[in-house]
Amino acid sequence: MASLKLSHIYKVYDNGHKAVNDFSIDIADQEFIVFVGPSGCGKSTTLRMIAGLETITAGDLFIGDTLVNDMEPKDRDIAMVFQSYALYPHMSVYENMAFGLRNRKMPENEIRERVEKAAKMLDIEDYLDRKPKEMSGGQRQRVALGRALVRDPKVFLLDEPLSNLDAKLRAAMRTEITALHKSLKTTFIYVTHDQVEAMTMGTRIVVMKLGYVQQIDTPMNLYNEPYNKFVAGFIGTPQMNFFDVTLKREGNEVVVHFTNGDTIILPYENVSKIHQRYLDGKTKVTFGIRPEHIDLDENERGLKIIVTNVERLGNETNVYGKLGDSLGEFTMKDEGNNIVVKVIDRDDIEIGDIVYAEPNPAKVHFFDAETEVTLMSRIPEFNTVSAEVSGGGMTVMGQAAALPPAFREALGENRQFELVIPPDAVIEGSDFSRKVAKVEKADDKNLAYLENGDQYLFALVGEGVKAGDDYHFSLRNEKLNLNAGGREVLHALDDEDFLTGTFSKTEVKEKGDRVLHFFYNIGDMKIEAQPEHGYKINAIDGDSCYKNSYRYGVPRDAVRIAGAGENGLAAKVVKILDYGDACFAKLDAEGQELLINVEKGFDRKQVRVTFDTEDISVYSTEIDMKLC
């Protein structure tokens, strides 16, 4: 039994190929985690790093509370099952299963007990004397499982264990492995390229593409709320339909315009999380709808389609078609107007028929046409509200509020402007008040829909806030973007600045021992690094670390004015950003910019700042990689 933690794990192979990028996950004890994605996306590499069969280039891997990056595979208390079974052909099933235990010098009577118990669980008791070649593929895979089982490991790692089996056996083994996981109460990590295996077996699934994690979620969340078009298309068969469309808000409705001129109408309520800038009738977006979420409508409502193929599977029928009413010239090219509809109990549809497809408005998906990221995130990225300079202050959402000096300066002559407000910048306070339309759970947070004219203002709220309440709030001004005159005039402050520098070491004798000290050098500052970070950077980059330059991520909270005589970075104060509740000084340290939190009225022109080094993150500048 064990939990696992992967923290910013990277794998760069010796040939320079970056196979895994910034992989982080906390795996709870007894979870069944599935890594899924197309061939070459880095699933096996990640699994092999967990097993210890592949070195970890950067990042931390914990099994339980133990950092195991440098631990030998045999000491990690994990067992791995491979696609190829990897059985010894000259040994009997019993000997294959006992082999690892004998290597560990376990007493023979205990070995027998364990092998017999595992054989019973896997229903191969009658085959213990056979050689692998006298068994079927399914039986051999059970032996491979048995060999892992007898070790009673903390974690089971399975790499495409069912790929060599035929479809029927695969389905049966899926159920058996799931049952085995339940009875063993152990952590399983399972790699597959097969989305059906992933969906049916995983408590959570990690979807990967080209070395990057796309989404980590429960099977149903992946299906219902895919983060991007890739995940949406990867989960589900036949795959989700995608169309290029534009969206236009018209009162309580949103009109979806297809490129062929067709339209469908959705209630605004179903797509209220889509930011209004996508609802202008011009911005191209991608519309996604699963085949099983489309009705074929007798009443000629919805999209007119001509049927090009019908797959009758018995229990259900997949109807393939093209938008429009003519087949045109045959081409295999997907012109973006192909559609597939999954229907049940319909055997009357024929090729050439004209049918009407009506998407279920509660099941629609929309993605940004460029980034392919969903426009309907569980927590919307930001709200946009209009505002105006009035008197000495500003009017926002119909209410007067103080105009922070930083806003006034950025706005210049502009009087009309927009505030771009992320939901977590709406905090409890007394400046504004809005009625709560509803509250929903989103990623363990409470997302409130605050009534605000013809759209919602989304806010993250505490427990206990409920529909019908008047919610009183203020805004974290430094977390807002300001748009005026058609452009952004002020950008929200990040919580971290990045400074470029070098890395060095000195060796000193302390009580007769030679001790290494590592340093981050930024401008004229040299501050000592945490020894474990220093060793880590040296281990990853070798001795070239003393020649490379690094990007240092410095959280705002870690920056402070250096005390007298303390080593620090000399910087000019370029500007004071006064946000009302919070105040910052923008500093220029030999061309590098950073911000520091200051008191109101701060008026120094020159400062020396220093950092708490344990909070600093270090990034390679050679390849985009977090080192620690």
Interacting residue ranges for ligand ADP, rule: CB under 6 A: 13, 15, 17, 19, 37, 39-45
Question: Please, which residue, 39 or 103, has the CB nearer to ligand ADP?
Answer: 39
Structure tokens at 203: 């408590």
Q: How far apart are CB 213 and ligand ADP at their closest, in Å?
A: 12
Let me know if 576 is exposed, middle or buried by CB neighbors in 10 A (0-12, 13-18, 19+): middle
Question: Please, which residue, 43 or 626, has the CB nearer to ligand ADP?
Answer: 43
Question: Please, which residue, 17 or 604, has the CB nearer to ligand ADP?
Answer: 17
Strand order in the sheet with 416-421: 399-402, 393-396, 383-390, 416-421, 481-484, 487-490
Q: How far apart are CB 44 and ligand ADP at their closest, in Å?
A: 3
Residue for token pair 């959705």: 266
Q: How far apart are CB 159 and ligand ADP at their closest, in Å?
A: 8
Residue for token pair 């919805």: 302
Give the angle subtended at the CA of 215 by the CAs of 67 and 178, to the nearest 5°: 75
Question: Please, which residue, 210 or 489, has the CB nearer to ligand ADP?
Answer: 210
Question: Please, which residue, 36 or 596, has the CB nearer to ligand ADP?
Answer: 36
Question: Please, which residue, 20 or 609, has the CB nearer to ligand ADP?
Answer: 20
Q: How far apart are CB 198 and ligand ADP at their closest, in Å?
A: 13
Q: How far apart are CB 160 and ligand ADP at their closest, in Å?
A: 8
Residue for token pair 């056979």: 130
Across 14-92, where does the E strand assignment appear?
A: 18-27, 32-36, 58-63, 66-67, 78-82
Q: How far apart are CB 19 and ligand ADP at their closest, in Å?
A: 3
Q: How far apart are CB 26 and ligand ADP at their closest, in Å?
A: 21
Q: Facing residues of 309 across strands?
A: 320
Question: Please, which residue, 44 or 187, has the CB nearer to ligand ADP?
Answer: 44
Question: Please, which residue, 53 or 574, has the CB nearer to ligand ADP?
Answer: 53
Q: How far apart are CB 45 and ligand ADP at their closest, in Å?
A: 3
Question: Please, which residue, 209 or 346, has the CB nearer to ligand ADP?
Answer: 209
Q: How far apart are CB 20 and ligand ADP at their closest, in Å?
A: 7
286-317: string of b/e by CB count within 10 Å (b at 16+)? bbbbbbbbbebeeeeebbebbbbebeeeeeeb
Residue/partner pairs of 438-443 with CB below 8 Å, 24 or more apart: 438/467, 439/465, 439/466, 439/467, 442/378, 442/379, 443/378, 443/379
Q: For strand 155-159 and strand 187-192, is the pairing parallel, antiparallel, or unpaired? A: parallel
Question: Please, which residue, 212 or 602, has the CB nearer to ligand ADP?
Answer: 212
Residue for token pair 């259900």: 316
Decide if 498 contacts 437 (C-beta within 8 A): no
Closest CA to 58 of 539, 499, 532, 614: 539
Q: How far apart are CB 35 and ligand ADP at their closest, in Å?
A: 8
Question: Please, which residue, 335 or 624, has the CB nearer to ligand ADP?
Answer: 624
Q: How far apart are CB 61 and ligand ADP at their closest, in Å?
A: 16
Q: How many CA atoms lie within 13 A of 549 on its CB side?
A: 8
Question: Please, which residue, 17 or 182, has the CB nearer to ligand ADP?
Answer: 17
Whole-Å CA distances, 407 to 146, 385, 395, 578, 603: 67, 15, 13, 8, 19
Give the angle subtended at the CA of 347 by the CAs of 345 and 350, to the nearest 5°: 140
Q: Facing residues of 577 across strands?
A: 584
Q: 3-state DSSP: the chain helix, strand, coil percent, rounded to 5?
A: 20, 45, 35
Q: How far apart are CB 125 and ligand ADP at their closest, in Å?
A: 34
Q: Which residues contact 572 (CB under 8 A, 6 or more apart)?
A: 587, 588, 589, 605, 606
Decide if 316 contacts 298 (C-beta within 8 A): no
Question: Please, which residue, 162 or 375, has the CB nearer to ligand ADP?
Answer: 162
Whole-Å CA distances, 265 to 289, 338, 374: 14, 20, 19
Q: How far apart are CB 75 and ligand ADP at their closest, in Å?
A: 23
Question: Please, which residue, 45 or 241, has the CB nearer to ligand ADP?
Answer: 45
Structure tokens at 131: 């050689």
Q: How far apart are CA 605 and CA 461, in angstroms?
A: 40
Structure tokens at 129: 């004397």
Q: How far apart are CB 11 and ligand ADP at their closest, in Å?
A: 8
Q: How far apart are CB 235 and ligand ADP at their closest, in Å?
A: 16
Across 491-540, where does the E strand assignment appear?
A: 496-510, 513-522, 525-528
Which amino acid, residue 69? N
Question: Please, which residue, 54 or 541, has the CB nearer to ligand ADP?
Answer: 54
